[in-house]
Chains A and B, each alone.
Chain A
Amino acid sequence: MTLKIPRYEINREPFMTEAPDFNRKSKLLQTERAHKARIIAAIPLTSEEKLFQIQILDPKERDKFTFLPGQFVMLELPGCGEIAISISGSSSNRDFIELCIRKVGTVTNMMHRLEAGAMVGIRGPFGTHFPMQKMNGSNVLLIAGGLGIVPLRSSIFWVNEHRPDFQDVTILYGARDSSQLLFDYQYEEWQKIYGLNMLTIVEQPDEKWDGPVGMITQLFAEVPIDPDDTFAIVCGPPVMFKFVCAHLSDLGLPRQRMFVSLERRMHCGMGKCCRCNVGSTFTCLDGPVFDYWSVMNLQEAI
């Protein structure tokens, strides 16, 4: 007597014929299926950073791709590698995705060599977002250090597109020197058109710089903060979180109203590879956006 074990043919299931919608994360998806996307512009911002405008090729897949400020995508260069990159553009821009990338590793260096027309892979969006809607009716403090302006820029777009929903909105931005200030061509627009109050500071002034000099916390002296009715979003190097969030906490701002974005190496973006483990959880699923109370409970988060 023989017995053949019945075969389960997963390749015949309906999900195999559908492009994955990564917003439906409880569904069975082709998790490694990347949206093929074309670089439509590669814009140099500084000597190290470029802004890439990337359009998902298939109009149906493009239409399904929606994200919220603070989320990230996995950017794949087939044969080279895959990396997590925060989305820097507006969530209402359904035409293309903006990614600002510093050349620092294997994939990012290769990315900098690509020109408009090249095809890349996009999986996502992944991770948590800044809870912009919870901030309705309140003052918003947007604080960025260095590259932190990149994930923060999506929130700046959001605030502008929903400007009447917010009271006073202030951007505090610090960089090493004036050549490192990203998106400087937009500052005037953010202030005059968006109606945001923006203060910048650099650590190392050069002859062109006539603004304040020092650490970002110095800017607090110039900004009145109402701890009862303010939300803060803080993006930047981890050491900055400590000082900035401690200062805001001293002013009486509840830690649940301060949001930070953490960054770790990721190999999957989906809570499987464990590489972005921070404390008891993973940056890709419970983060990258955490409120500061959660961060205090995560060992070695900052």
Chain B
Amino acid sequence: MLYKTISKHNFRLMIEGLMEDNEVFGPKWRDLDMEGKKVYRFLKLNEFDELQMDYTRTYSSPKNFFLPFKETLATYNLVDTDWDQDIRYTVHPRVIVGMRACDINALRKLDEVMVKSAFPNPYYIARRRNTLIIGLDHEPLEDCFCRSVDADVVFKGFDVFLTDIDEKFFVAIGSDTGYRIIESYGGEEVTEADQDAYKTVKKQIESKFKTQVDVTIVPELMDLEFESEVWKKWGDKCMSCGSCAMVCPTCYCYGVEESVELNFSQATKQRFLYSCNLVDFAAVAGDHNFRPESHVRLKYRYYHQFRGFVEAFNQSLCVGCNRCGAACLAGINPKAVIDDLNETEKR
């Protein structure tokens, strides 16, 4: 890995330069929640000052730049009983500024499924390769537990990753494009003082984690405690709304729907993100549902994250951002569920 530093003034010029020729997205303040806290979202930046470098957490995750809520997979021209299919993967290059380490690690987990596994997904690959990622370190929030699931540090999956060391940013460079933009905007060699400052900041970040989740034997517990009352306790609260999966940076399951235009001469095949908590997730034709109960569906959300994905890719799918916990209308959060699984008396 190559490291440089860039002054904050030059960083501003760099983002402005990128905005001139590319679409640039970053965290913007959009709203206030019920407690009066700022609600952030990754949106298109029109000027540098819209970029909220000190944002806490976006409500939904940047995964939707790569897996949109709705995406056209194919279109059809229909003529009598015949048809023609059209498929395009057209994506325009874009820049995302301010992604957290956990969100970049989330993308790397999605890469395992969408790029490195059987049947690489061309729609995802086109989006991934046409997106320049500028990551940004931050001090953990009260409920961040990325450190517990090894997602607090990132070494790959970005073009540039910034750590604020006062007057300048310490920059990890992850790609040639990243290298070129940093060079073009006055990137400097790392001095010993920079290195010390970086070390101090990283130590400080590390010391500020308040929430810990013990995942040591969670994959085993998923089988050993499959019939546990914990699932009913939390699952019976679940309203099966699917919010957790919508805001999750790694949930990728989807449904496919086809529709015909009113003129009966065009049709579309669309993918829309789904959630394993929705009541018809495992429903089949003939009125059979493999998972009719909400607690079974909730259990399988955890089962996939902490057991299925571990078996397939030697890592959990969860990156510890707690977006699902923050979004849940019923107050279900991963820390509480996993703590209960770990505690003998609560099982």
Which residues on the A side are within 8 Å of B90 (C-beta)? 11
A264–B93 contact, CB under 8 A? no
Complex Cα distance A108/B285, Å?
Answer: 9
Contact (A4, B21) CB under 8 Å given A265-B282, A277-B308: yes
A34–B256 contact, CB under 8 A? no
A272–B252 contact, CB under 8 A? yes
Q: What mask results when residues 247 to 259 of chain B are scored 1 for a CB within 8 Å of chain A, else 0?
A: 0000011111111
Is A98 an interface residue, CB under 8 A from the partner?
no
Which residues on the B side are within 8 Å of A33 (C-beta)? 74, 85, 87
Q: What mask results when residues 24 to 37 of chain A are scored 1 for a CB within 8 Å of chain B, else 0?
A: 01111111111010
Which residues on the A side are within 8 Å of B20 (C-beta)? 2
Query: B267 is contacted by which of A4, A36, A78, A299 (Cβ under 8 Å)?
Result: A78
A119–B311 contact, CB under 8 A? no
A28–B311 contact, CB under 8 A? no
Number of interface residues of B (CB under 8 A): 73
Which residues on the B side are within 8 Å of A119 (C-beta)? 81-83
Q: What mask results when residues 265 to 279 of chain A are scored 1 for a CB within 8 Å of chain B, else 0?
A: 101101111110101
Query: B93 is contacted by which of A5, A15, A273 (Cβ under 8 Å)?
Result: A5
B177–A6 contact, CB under 8 A? yes
Contact (A277, B286) CB under 8 Å given A79-B267, A82-B258: no
Which residues on the A side are within 8 Å of B118 (C-beta)? 25-26, 270-271, 285
Task: Report A72-111 residues with CB < 8 Å from chain B CB.
Answer: 76-83, 104-106, 108
Is B122 an interface residue, CB under 8 A from the partner?
yes
Complex Cα distance A8/B89, Å?
Answer: 11
Please report whether the interface of chain A is mostly helix, strand, loop or mixed according to DSSP. loop
Which residues on the B side are within 8 Å of A108 (C-beta)? 285
Complex Cα distance A279/B282, Å?
Answer: 13
Q: Which residue of B lies closest to A273 (CB)?
A: B254
Q: Which residue of B lies closest to A7 (CB)?
A: B93
Is B39 an interface residue, CB under 8 A from the partner?
no
Query: A78 is contacted by which of B95, B254, B258 (Cβ under 8 Å)?
Result: B258
Q: Which residue of A lies closest to B159 (CB)?
A: A5
- Of the listed residues B87, B226, B283, the one surrounded by the most CB atoms of chain A closer than 10 A to its CB is B87
Complex Cα distance A277/B120, Å?
Answer: 19
Which residues on the A side are within 8 Å of B78 (C-beta)? 78-79
Which residues on the B side are within 8 Å of A25 (C-beta)? 118-119
Which residues on the A side are within 8 Å of B255 (C-beta)? 267, 273, 275
B276–A277 contact, CB under 8 A? yes
Is B132 an interface residue, CB under 8 A from the partner?
yes
Q: What mask results when residues 291 to 302 of chain A are scored 1 for a CB within 8 Å of chain B, else 0?
A: 000000001100
Q: What mask results when residues 279 to 293 of chain B are scored 1 for a CB within 8 Å of chain A, else 0?
A: 001111110001000
Complex Cα distance A227/B32, Å?
Answer: 69
A28–B122 contact, CB under 8 A? yes
CB distance from A219 to the nearest CB of B (A): 26
Task: Report B120-137 residues with CB < 8 Å from chain A CB.
Answer: 120-122, 125-126, 129-130, 132
CB distance from B336 to the nearest CB of A (A): 22
Which residues on the B side are within 8 Å of A272 (C-beta)? 113-114, 119, 121, 252, 254
Which residues on the B side are within 8 Å of A36 (C-beta)? 83, 85
Is B18 an interface residue, CB under 8 A from the partner?
yes
Task: Report A1-47 residues with CB < 8 Å from chain B CB.
Answer: 1-8, 10-11, 15, 25-34, 36
Contact (A79, B260) CB under 8 Å given A28-B120, A117-B81: yes
Is B300 an interface residue, CB under 8 A from the partner?
yes
Complex Cα distance A77/B137, Å?
Answer: 48
Contact (A30, B311) CB under 8 Å given A274-B252, A275-B281: no
Is A281 an interface residue, CB under 8 A from the partner?
yes
Is A195 an interface residue, CB under 8 A from the partner?
no
Complex Cα distance A33/B283, Å?
Answer: 26
B285–A78 contact, CB under 8 A? no
Complex Cα distance A273/B126, Å?
Answer: 18
Is B203 an interface residue, CB under 8 A from the partner?
no
Is B184 an interface residue, CB under 8 A from the partner?
yes
Query: A30 is contacted by which of B122, B185, B252, B257 (Cβ under 8 Å)?
Result: B122
B311–A31 contact, CB under 8 A? no
CB distance from A227 to the nearest CB of B (A): 29
Which residues on the A side are within 8 Å of B130 (C-beta)? 5, 7-8
Contact (A121, B85) CB under 8 Å given A32-B74, A79-B259, A275-B253: yes
Q: Which residue of B lies closest to A107 (CB)?
A: B285
Is A114 an interface residue, CB under 8 A from the partner?
yes
B258–A79 contact, CB under 8 A? yes
Q: Which residue of A lies closest to B181 (CB)?
A: A3
Which residues on the A side are within 8 Å of B253 (C-beta)? 273-275, 277
Is A223 an interface residue, CB under 8 A from the partner?
no
B residues neighboring A (CB under 8 Å):
13, 17-18, 20-22, 73-74, 76, 78, 81-83, 85, 87-95, 113-114, 117-122, 125-126, 129-130, 132, 177, 180-181, 184-185, 223, 226, 252-260, 267-269, 271, 274, 276, 281-286, 290, 296, 300, 303-304, 307-308, 311-312
Closest A-B pairs by Cβ, 9 of them: A105-B285, A79-B267, A274-B253, A270-B119, A79-B260, A5-B93, A280-B308, A8-B129, A4-B21
| A6-B177, A10-B125, A30-B87 known, 18 other contacts, Cβ within 8 Å | A1-B185, A8-B130, A10-B89, A10-B129, A11-B88, A25-B119, A32-B74, A36-B85, A78-B76, A79-B76, A104-B285, A105-B285, A114-B81, A121-B85, A263-B284, A271-B119, A272-B119, A280-B307
A residues neighboring B (CB under 8 Å):
1-8, 10-11, 15, 25-34, 36, 76-83, 104-106, 108, 114, 117-119, 121, 263-265, 267-268, 270-275, 277, 279-281, 285, 299-300
Listed by A's residue number, 18 A-B pairs whose Cβ atoms lie within 8 Å are A1-B13, A2-B20, A3-B17, A3-B184, A5-B130, A5-B132, A8-B126, A8-B130, A11-B89, A32-B73, A36-B83, A78-B78, A79-B258, A82-B269, A104-B285, A264-B282, A270-B119, A299-B303
